[in-house]
Structure 1
Amino acid sequence: MKRFARIASLIFGVLMLALSVMVTLEAILRKTMQFSFGGVDELSGYAVAICAPLAFAVALIDQAHIRINLLYVKLSLRTRAMLDGLSAFSLLLLALFLGYFTVTTVQETQDYASLAQTPWATPLIYPQSLWALAMAFFALVALLLGIRALRLMISKQWDVLNKSFGPDSVEEELKSELADLQRR
């Protein structure tokens, strides 16, 4: 799963870097030569739509989403593990809802042969299909992790559930940061 997160991160990074270069060139050319590529804003919308679900999946795999642990650390292991499992399951439901919305949107786009209302008049089925693939990746990651969390909850493996889906302790975070500092 970590390998897929790395590939998704790489795709995200390349797309965002390419978008940054295009926006920078567009701004410079507009200011200095009154020239515009026309459509950089359109491309940026497509890039963000494709990259957002990839970033969601990477955050889910790497447990990089923000958590507020003020009360969490005061709870029992079982309660924390159950909350972690509920969190994984709720993210699965969110991913399935977003996936449903995405597929519905792509189907409507195909039914109406929708075009972007921009100078390029891009057939929207192409960028939206890439968006749907990225959203499917997020949904698949959420499904796999949600099923794993559910299995751990059913088998009452609270320590494994907490270790797999819970946030790192302060000591673990410190150790990780120091190890990362050593590598650099």
Structure 2
Amino acid sequence: MAQLSGITFGAIMIALSFAIAAETILRKFFSHSMGGIDELGGYAVAVIAPLAFLVTAYEQAHIRINILHGKLPLRARAILNTVAAVSLGLLALFLLYFTFKTVQDTLTYRSIAQTPWATPLIFPQSVWLVAMLAFTAGTLVISARTLLLAIRGDWTTLDRKFGPGSPQDELEAELAELKTRERA
């Protein structure tokens, strides 16, 4: 699922890049604009970002600075993993709150985009809100799972499932991925 999501997100961003490049060339050399490409780009990023964050959270693909993490005792590592997961869940709730407030204001004022398309903002913002709801729900599930493992005192499972891999684990995963690509 994560690989399919990554490919989809990447394809959308590449298509958007080509559209922006075409828009730039049209403006520079032909004094013509397709109009609204920047608006479309903003909508794409607003929807894809929370979904990409969710995939990253589930795949544990986010960047962690783990210089000290591997040197800590098991229980301390597990507690740090729990704090990280809960912090991400709280951040998602915070972002969801402001996303909801933005959509609420858009409904109240019947806002439209100040672009050539004059898009009623409730449409793209509703999709953005759904994406942010998905991100929040996913991170809250991860938070709950880590908290349950911490309450049970299952430090080994918590560290194994929610901790960052060691540099050796990452190297082995990259080498395995390289072998897979070389075969293809």
Shorter-chain-normalised TM-score: which range? Answer: over 0.9
Q: 2:142 aligns with which of 142, 145, 161?
A: 145
Q: Which residue number in structure 2 is paired with residue 72 of structure 1?
A: 69
Count of aligned residue pairs for this structure pair: 181
2:60 is aligned to 63
Tell me whether 1:25 sits opposite 2:22 in the alignment. Answer: yes
Deviations 1:61-102 (A, max 9, x none): 111111111221221000000100111011011111111111
Structure 1: unaligned runs, 5 residues or longer: none
TM-score (normalizing by structure 1): 0.93
**Contact 1:9-1:54 within 8 A present in 2 as well:** no
- 1:148 Cα deviation after fit: 0.7
Q: Out of 104, 112, 131, which is 1:107 matched to?
A: 104
Question: What is the aligned counterpart of 1:88 among 85, 91, 97?
Answer: 85
Over aligned residue pairs, what C-alpha RMSD do you find? Answer: 1.3
TM normalised by structure 2 equals 0.93
Structure 1 residue matching 2:114: 3-state secondary structure: coil
Identity of aligned residues (%): 54
Q: Report whether the alignment pairs 1:130 with 2:127.
A: yes
Quick one: which amino acid aligns to residue 175 of structure 1?
Answer: E
Q: Return 5+ residue gaps in structure 2 as ranges.
A: none
Q: Distance in 1 between matches of 2:109 and 2:9?
A: 30
- The CA deviation at 1:147 is 0.9
Q: What CA distance in whole angstroms lies between the structure 1 residues aligned with 2:4 and 2:100?
A: 23
The AA in structure 2 aligned to 1:162 is: D
Aligned match of 2:31: 34
Match status 1:182 vs 2:179: yes
Distance 1:139 1:37 in 2: 35
Q: What's 1:52 paired with? A: 49
